[in-house]
Amino acid sequence: MNNEFIIPAPPLPRTPAEEEKLRGRLTGFKIGYDEGYLRGRLAILDGRPEEPIPVRNLHVMYVASGKGYPYSPLDDAVLYALQKLTTQVTVTDVRQNLAELAAVQCPDLVLVLDGMELPLEQVSMLRGRGIKTAIWLTDDPYYTDFTMKIVAHYDYVFTLERNCVEVYRGLGCPEVHYLPFAAHREHYRPTTGRSPIQRDVSFIGSAYWNRINFFRDIMPELMSFNTVINGIWWDRLPEAPLYGDRIEIGKWMTPQETAVTYSGSKIVINLHRAHVDEKDNNNALLIPAASPNPRTFEIAASGTLQLSDARDDMGTFYKVGEEIDTFSSPQEMMDKIRYYLTHEEERRDMALRAFERTLKDHTYTRRLHQLLTVIYG
């Protein structure tokens, strides 16, 4: 046998169909790797225990809104936090006789959520017994025509809208504090395995008229991606039938359904409602909204990238451009959607940073700790 080298024949050129198949396989590997990396990192972060907060020797009577869904998940979140932070919690709602119940239970604090259906004489009787009272308002500034009539009856007022603080202080309320909502980790957390939802873009929310007007001109461009919209009143959009079940009309989604949808979407749009809306608001003073809505924290807690319309106080809670991103016009939103759908690492890293910030600073346990610190030091 001679020692001559055998030069292998060059590979046959691939056909266009084979090239396309190879590109598809490599793309699939890349998508799978990116998805697995994101889910793995989220699982690690989600598994970290929340930093412990000392339990206070307090008995809190918590007065739920009594309005049912969609307020009941807020009740769940507040109650969960109170039970972790205090030694005793009594649960009731606005339909009960609070004065009689407090005479038996002797709470240190009565905390009311929303409170618009609670008879004010009940609050006066509680204060007459020397019991501290506090209200956490849920819908500022959109229903201030009603809330302005009740806030002066409480010892402490907590509002999720920064611009309402001075309004309520001007009504003679000495203790008014800014306390936005947060994310309830028992409801909003990322899917850490393979997600049953696969979307490019999601929006979940009611079709207030500002949202209809914002989306209408860009709808063909927006729906050219794998985009789905869920919420009530979307029959207000004349073009909704053109998109079939990609615009789901008239369904309230549970927090768990919402979280799975957020987590299975590459981008979630957060478009706040407008403070000027003659049909759906009761805000005669036209108090502008500067603060982030609860959805801001819930999207971030679900481990996905959030694109939100710019609000003045957003930067207090998240680093814009690092943890979430914002837009000021429909076209800017579309430009950023296209950008992040083609820049996977930036999208993924921003979602992870927002998730980590939310777990650290924006849970209901943190918020209720702030509330109790205001009252008790």
Q: Give me 153's structure tokens.
A: 């009856």
Instruction: State the virtual CA torsion across 319, 293, 64, 277 in degrees, nearest 10.
Output: 160
Strand-pair category, 247-249 with 109-113: unpaired
Q: What DSSP character marks residue 225?
A: S
* Per-domain boundaries in the chain: 56-182+364-376, 199-361
C-alpha closest to that of 171 among 186, 154, 195, 188: 154
- Work out the pLDDT band at 28, boundaries 50, 70, 90: very low
Is residue 281 a contact partner of residue 208, using CB atoms and an 8 Å limit?
A: no
The pLDDT of 86-99, averaged and rounded, is 95
Query: What pLDDT is recorded for position 37?
Result: 86
The pLDDT of 208-218, averaged and rounded, is 96
CATH (residue range 199-361): 3.40.50.2000
- Work out the pLDDT band at 317, boundaries 50, 70, 90: very high
Same fold across 56-182+364-376 and 199-361: yes
pLDDT tens, 118-141? 999 999 999 999 999 999 999 999
Sequence-distant (6+) residues with CB within 8 A of 95 are: 66, 117
Task: State the angle between helix axes of 120-128 and 98-105 in degrees (0 to 180), rounded to the nearest 10.
Answer: 30
Query: What pLDDT is recorded for position 14?
Result: 75
Whole-number mean pLDDT of the chain?
93
- Given a cut of 50, whether residue 43 has pLDDT beyond it is yes
Q: What DSSP character marks residue 229?
A: E
Query: What pLDDT is recorded for position 35?
Result: 82
pLDDT tens, 252-264? 899 999 999 999 9
HSE-CB for 262 with a 13 A CA cutoff: 30
Which of the pair, 169 or 278, is modelled with greater confidence?
169
Q: CATH says 56-182+364-376 is which class?
A: alpha beta
d(CA 106, CA 120): 19
The pLDDT of 354-365, averaged and rounded, is 97
Name beta bridge partners: 111.
62, 134
Distances (CA, A) of 161 to 19, 40, 78, 222, 275: 56, 36, 18, 30, 11
pLDDT tens, 263-291? 999 999 999 999 999 888 999 999 999 99
The pLDDT of 2-17, averaged and rounded, is 70
pTM (2 d.p.): 0.90
d(CA 160, CA 109): 20
The pLDDT of 294-313, averaged and rounded, is 97
Q: What percent of the chain has pLDDT over 70?
A: 94
Q: Residue 70, preceding bond cis, omega within 30 degrees?
A: yes
- Work out the pLDDT band at 30, boundaries 50, 70, 90: low
Query: What pLDDT is recorded for position 19?
Result: 65
